[in-house]
Structure 1
């Protein structure tokens, strides 16, 4: 009996797997840990290919401006204790953020500061006395915002984010490659204006960098009571904005990350959000008692991460700085402080009628009426 051989059954080919398309959301995420290029002692960490190191000349200039900025900050604090300023919010400890942001920009770019950015404004070349005008109580702004490409220091939290987004969008509409940088505190990211500004910038691809200085406290409220996010940089993904987090006390990393963010915005790619992890060494202002909400051990730990000391160590090791250069920069800082002390001793001359200046481009009838009332009262006093 013969049998018919059975046909060999071949396994069915497996269906081809479709290539998984790249997840666009991942491109928006910051690094899992803050970008660092120097360790806490000022020694170079292994190079990161996407973080090019700033050149030696830029780093030396950053060191110079940080030293001058800290001396200015110390002098302004002293002037407050002497009654020459009504209030002063120190930025000591945040020098890398304050100066790095300014150095990452061109002169024709715009800066939108908060009340704490006095050091950044001095680094931008604005007269220190004009910078302190707001805090002295003479005028809301002592410098010409248009000429300095620097908005008035903003006291209400987060409103400057909307201003920055609007100006950046307007500049782009006119074909200019201007970038706007908005300084933001960690507490301001809890405000509605922050979210509106970031969302507007994302939708209309405004060339603006939102620079969050996370100094751990919104006055006395710790970060843990403000957000449950792994980092504030993650707030960008909800609006389609690429973000990064950086060690805000590492001058090299701050310059590298902000340089990349500014280049991204200038190239027409829309906004960028950067969170810098830093620390406010002094109280919120001279009216604050920081000892009520943080302990000495925490402050001491951050003292060891001093951005000026870290950069000085690195530049000395590379032969960019020596004793003579450090002494020369310190002398320059002292000269600025001495000049500031002298000029701040003069009492400001403010006429009561100036209260009505610069309120509206064209004064309203009510404003004219009020001005005339004050003018008449002043005239009556002079005649009496």
Structure 2
């Protein structure tokens, strides 16, 4: 799912491979040490693969690894840029990635629309240590089914007595749900501490002929007992083992997007959640590329504007999270956000630092570059490359 370009200012992720500090040339290691970031690579390339485009990244700062999801391939690199291993062997769509700090396992969204099966892949990445490992035969790759997502995806919303399937312009799919993509670990919404929960963001069809697809949908789960629910992936017989209910369902009114939350991230330094999206298609919205909300913002029950209530009177009610009060501001809608590319890799790593990814290539030769960025908070340039911020 690739984004379309628009005639407007978009903040790119600038790739800096020839670095200087104070006008003096440095090697990569010297530059990291001078910036006080000796353990983090300033840039990295995720390899070139016969796979889908990069969907998300995850960084294990403790053990020194970076993971890349290329839709139907997982690549593991160390901080020095050495390829450690790959995992392959599924035909579904592996999306965004998140490391669980409690067990060191990697969690990723995995969807099979034709089977109405939406999973979290739980990968024991400590065992990914060679090229071409098969998810189908490895005990390292387990899956947990999310029933709530399946119910919303397969909902008959136009009342014709049937679900019209995986068609972007159909009026079916509750909230325009197209599946799942963004995933991240963080606290329960309304707090910046407490037990970590897995948060899962819906994909949302951008259908311009409906009004019920202008919110981002977020589910939170306590995954502490998911070991009992996880099952091997058998594509010929999709299982339905997983939590029957969520630990919370929330909505953020961002206006239209194309395929909803592509990348989701929680930054513990700023106590803030970030959502990277592909721009929407409804012209009356600003169609920003990145949105944020604060962890301490308490969810409040309110109208999901544009989503008709089941009884036909007014709007459906839901737990709403307010957008952060900074960034660009659209006076007509009140929506705030940034025109920052953050749709294929957005990963906080502490100390106000983030990795952002850029995808390039075609089928058969997809690649990804990541760069270490520092958060500025500026509306027109929320991130700057680390070396640019240390070479003053």
The two structures have a TM-score, normalised by structure 1, of 0.31
Greater relative contact order structure (CA < 8 Å, 6+ sep)? 1
Higher share in strand: 2
Larger Rg: 1
Q: Between Structure 1 and Structure 2, which shows a larger proportion of helix residues?
A: 1
The TM-score with structure 2 as length reference comes to 0.31
